[in-house]
């Protein structure tokens, strides 16, 4: 007989699986724009880099920043730090600087290398022209962004406002308003903000200069086309967006993918790619922000092409479990569950979850789109995973009293402990997101599953029916957690789903083995009847789960038929 020490975990990642490689489709326009290219070229023309201080990030790209530091360029946070420059020259980045900051730099006797993008300068000039006309200036952009700071730096303090989007617009007590946009603003966001300015300020003459740059428009249009292509293809639609973590236009490209119903994975470089994030993906889209080096894009593409097309989730079971689980006794299953609990408790083990904060604290990791699609669903599953299993244990006791395996109740208790571990981990994730857990009676789906298990009184037959219902729930759970893992970029939630998927495969096999033991000696008619009951239970479970959690399934690119196929193929 096997004990807990006989079970081990074998890691099998998407990168290690065999089969065809991922196909990569590039957006028709992406990466460096001419403004970034010219800014970088300005630094490469400097013969003595140590005599130049870069005022801010030349571009929002960690590789470029590291290259400049390696060549000896000095740096300061921004163009407002003229008094702190200790070199003969100062370089203004592609994001620009106000005329006042430029004058102070020149007044300090510094040689000024102005790498301001011409299209950023156009935003500055439009805002200055509105101010000269006596208009209140509204800048649609990110407050505090280097480009925006340069645009508003020369405007009177009480004569401008920076709004991120339409929701940030207010009524202003001015008869004349001029609107410009940060050059990398999403055109749809800009248009909505302009409309809001007009609606909330009906007394004002509102003038608008469209200062969204052409490279931004081209790249966003290309991303929409890419998303449309991917949604027509096989597998979950996924786009990798390459760019710096503080790049506004990179963030906008990722948000645009999400708005188009396509999962976006943001990375700064090839080293951040996680093979497991592409489970089930066949074709992946690729785009990049305007400050991303061609070499970085090429490296990401090359790395993606090494990934193999893999199943939507990986069982990650030991070789022993893969081959002879149907012959295990209940005591061996109990030992397996105990060993899995030990592995899961190891903070340095393969099942460790990268929690964003200590238990009980709040630190959300989901994007707004992910929260809208997943949180209500996670709350329902968290409630469904919890419970004492009293009815199941009564059924197990009746089974043993009728001559069944006396070790089965112990295995059942270990199984229920794993289910409650899932509930605890989902609960901790909800706590970190600042979302309250559901209480018993608040989820009709969870209540329906519990009630359906009790349709047959506690007995050997009651145990068989309860397992049939449990098997349906386990199969649906495998489809659900695979979809949830595809639907998020949260490291904690993805790791949690990975662990649950490993456990659910074991649970499915444990219950299948017990069901087979209960049906030993049953005739052909009896087997046909029970098979029909299982099919009906699975169909009902799939329907209930799809209706309750369809936003998660749709975000992962799974329709009703895909959910049913995944559930039926789980064993």
Q: How confident is the model at residue 19 (pLDDT cuts 50, 70, 90)?
A: low
Using alpha carbons only, how large is the chain's radius of gyration in Å?
Answer: 29
Residue 515 near residue 472, CB atoms below 8 Å = no
Report the side by side order of strands in the sheet with 52-55: 74-76, 52-55, 89-92, 111-114
The pLDDT of residue 134 is 95
**H or E segment and range at residue 161:** strand 160-163
Architecture field, domain 23-32+215-304: 3-Layer(aba) Sandwich (3.40)
The pLDDT of residue 350 is 66
Tokens of 319: 């070789």
Does 569 score more than 80 pLDDT? Answer: no
Does 11 score more than 70 pLDDT? Answer: no
- Start-end of CATH 1.20.1260.10 domains in the chain: 358-568
Task: Specify the higher pLDDT residue, 248 or 72.
Answer: 72
Does 176 score more than 90 pLDDT? Answer: yes
Report the C-alpha gap between 26 and 305 in whole angstroms: 12
- H-assigned helices in 210-329: 214-231, 248-259, 294-304, 319-324
Q: How confident is the model at residue 325 (pLDDT cuts 50, 70, 90)?
A: low
Q: Quick one: average pLDDT of 248-263? A: 84
Residue 239 near residue 277, CB atoms below 8 Å = no
Does 10 score more than 90 pLDDT? Answer: no
The pLDDT of residue 519 is 83
Report the C-alpha gap between 525 and 527 in whole angstroms: 5
Comparing C-alpha atoms, which of 380, 390, 402, 391 is closest to residue 446? 380
Report the C-alpha gap between 568 and 560 in whole angstroms: 12
For 268, phi then psi, to 5°, come to -90, -20
Tokens of 273: 């790619």
Say which CATH superfamily domain 358-568 falls into. Answer: Ferritin, core subunit, four-helix bundle (1.20.1260.10)
Task: Specify the higher pLDDT residue, 45 or 417.
Answer: 417
Q: Quick one: average pLDDT of 41-48? A: 87
Residue 462 near residue 456, CB atoms below 8 Å = yes
Report the side by side order of strands in the sheet with 160-163: 160-163, 136-140, 176-181, 205-208
Least confident of 16-20, 178-182, 289-293: 16-20
Contacts of 109 (CB under 8 A, 6+ apart): none
Q: Which CATH number fits domain 119-212: 3.40.190.10, 3.40.50.300, 3.40.1010.20, 3.30.70.141?
A: 3.40.1010.20
| Residues β-bridged to residue 113 | 91
Please give the share of the chain, as a percent, with pLDDT higher than 70: 92
Task: Specify the higher pLDDT residue, 234 or 116.
Answer: 116
Report the C-alpha gap between 271 and 566 in whole angstroms: 31
- H-assigned helices in 434-523: 444-453, 460-486, 491-518
Q: Quick one: average pLDDT of 280-304? A: 90
CATH tag, 34-117 = 3.40.50.11270
Report the C-alpha gap between 38 and 32 in whole angstroms: 10
Does 367 score more than 60 pLDDT? Answer: yes
- H-assigned helices in 25-71: 34-44, 62-71
The tally of CA atoms less than 13 A away on the side-chain side of residue 330 is 21
Q: Quick one: average pLDDT of 401-428? A: 91
Please give the share of the chain, as a percent, with pLDDT higher than 90: 35
The pLDDT of residue 117 is 92
Coil, strand or helix at 350: coil
Contacts of 301 (CB under 8 A, 6+ apart): 24, 26, 286
The pLDDT of residue 59 is 77
Write the pLDDT tens digit of every residue in 423-461.
999 999 999 999 999 888 777 777 777 778 778 887 888
In 300-442, the DSSP E strands lie at none
Residue 181 near residue 212, CB atoms below 8 Å = yes
Residue 10 near residue 290, CB atoms below 8 Å = no
Report the C-alpha gap between 184 and 119 in whole angstroms: 10
| Residues β-bridged to residue 76 | 55
- Start-end of CATH 3.40.1010.20 domains in the chain: 23-32+215-304, 119-212
Q: What angle do CA 462, 465, 467 make, to 5 degrees?
A: 110
Report the C-alpha gap between 357 and 492 in whole angstroms: 10
For 288, phi then psi, to 5°, come to -155, 155
Contacts of 552 (CB under 8 A, 6+ apart): 373, 374, 377, 480, 483, 484, 487
Task: Please state the length of the chain.
Answer: 571
Q: Quick one: average pLDDT of 29-53? A: 88
pTM over the 0.75 mark = no
Helix 214-231 to helix 187-200 angle, to the nearest 10 degrees? 110
Q: Using the structure block, give the residue that is written with the tokens 């102070």.
A: 104
Write the pLDDT tens digit of every residue in 189-201.
899 999 999 999 9
Write the pLDDT tens digit of every residue in 125-164.
999 999 999 999 999 998 888 899 999 999 998 899 999 9
Task: Specify the higher pLDDT residue, 32 or 423.
Answer: 423
Task: Specify the higher pLDDT residue, 350 or 247.
Answer: 247
The CA-atom distances, in angstroms, between 113 and each of 43, 102, 104, 106 are 9, 10, 14, 10
Q: How confident is the model at residue 14 (pLDDT cuts 50, 70, 90)?
A: very low
The pLDDT of residue 426 is 94
């Amino acid at each position: 007989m096997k004990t807990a020490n006989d079970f081990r975990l074998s890691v099998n990642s998407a990168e290690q699986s065999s089969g065809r490689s991922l196909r990569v489709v590039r957006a028709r326009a992406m990466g460096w724009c001419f403004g970034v290219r010219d800014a970088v070229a300005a630094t490469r023309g400097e013969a003595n880099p140590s005599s130049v201080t870069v005022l801010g990030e030349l571009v929002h790209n960690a590789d470029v920043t590291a290259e400049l530091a390696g060549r000896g360029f000095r740096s300061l946070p921004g163009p407002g730090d003229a008094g702190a420059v200790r070199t003969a020259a100062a370089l203004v980045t592609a994001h620009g600087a106000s005329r006042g900051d430029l004058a102070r730099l020149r007044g300090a006797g510094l040689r000024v290398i102005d790498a301001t993008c011409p299209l950023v300068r156009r935003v500055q000039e439009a805002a200055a022209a509105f101010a000269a006309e006596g208009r209140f200036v509204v800048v649609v952009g990110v407050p505090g962004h280097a480009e925006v700071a340069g645009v508003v730096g020369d405007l009177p303090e009480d004569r401008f406002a920076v709004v991120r989007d339409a929701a940030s617009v207010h009524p202003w007590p001015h008869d004349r308003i001029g609107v410009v946009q940060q050059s990398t603003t999403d055109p749809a966001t800009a248009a909505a903000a302009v409309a809001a300015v007009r609606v909330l300020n009906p007394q004002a003459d509102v003038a608008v200069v469209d200062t969204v740059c052409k490279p931004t428009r081209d790249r966003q249009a290309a991303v929409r086309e890419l998303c449309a292509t991917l949604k027509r293809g096989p597998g979950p639609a996924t786009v990798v967006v390459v760019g710096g973590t503080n790049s506004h236009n990179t963030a906008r490209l990722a948000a645009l993918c999400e708005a188009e119903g396509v999962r976006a994975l943001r990375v700064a470089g090839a080293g951040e790619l996680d093979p497991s994030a592409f489970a089930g993906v066949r074709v992946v889209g690729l785009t990049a922000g305007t400050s991303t080096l061609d070499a970085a894009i090429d490296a990401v593409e090359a790395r993606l092409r090494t990934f193999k097309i893999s199943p939507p989730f990986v069982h990650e079971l030991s070789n022993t479990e893969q081959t002879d689980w149907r012959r295990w006794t209940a005591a061996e299953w109990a030992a397996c569950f105990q060993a899995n609990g030990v592995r899961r408790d190891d903070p340095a083990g393969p099942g460790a979850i990268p929690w964003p904060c200590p238990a009980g604290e709040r630190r959300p990791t989901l994007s707004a789109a992910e929260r809208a699609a997943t949180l209500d669903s996670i709350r329902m599953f968290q409630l469904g995973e919890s419970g004492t299993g009293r009815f199941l244990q009564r059924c197990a006791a009746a089974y043993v009293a009728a001559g069944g395996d006396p070790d089965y109740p112990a295995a059942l208790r270990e199984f229920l402990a794993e289910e409650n571990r899932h509930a605890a981990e989902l609960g901790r994730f909800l706590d970190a997101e600042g979302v309250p857990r559901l209480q018993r009676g608040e989820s009709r789906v969870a209540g329906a599953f519990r009630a359906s298990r009790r349709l047959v009184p506690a007995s050997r037959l009651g145990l068989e029916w309860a397992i049939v219902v449990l098997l349906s729930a386990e199969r649906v759970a495998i489809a659900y957690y695979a979809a949830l893992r595809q639907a998020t970029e949260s490291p904690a939630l993805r790791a949690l789903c990975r662990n649950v998927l490993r456990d659910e495969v074991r649970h499915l096999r444990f219950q299948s083995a017990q069901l087979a033991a209960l049906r030993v000696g049953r005739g052909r008619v009896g087997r046909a009847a029970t098979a029909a009951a299982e099919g009906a239970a699975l169909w009902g479970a799939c329907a209930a789960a799809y209706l309750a959690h369809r936003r998660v399934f749709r975000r992962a690119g799974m329709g009703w038929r895909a959910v049913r196929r995944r559930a039926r193929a789980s064993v």
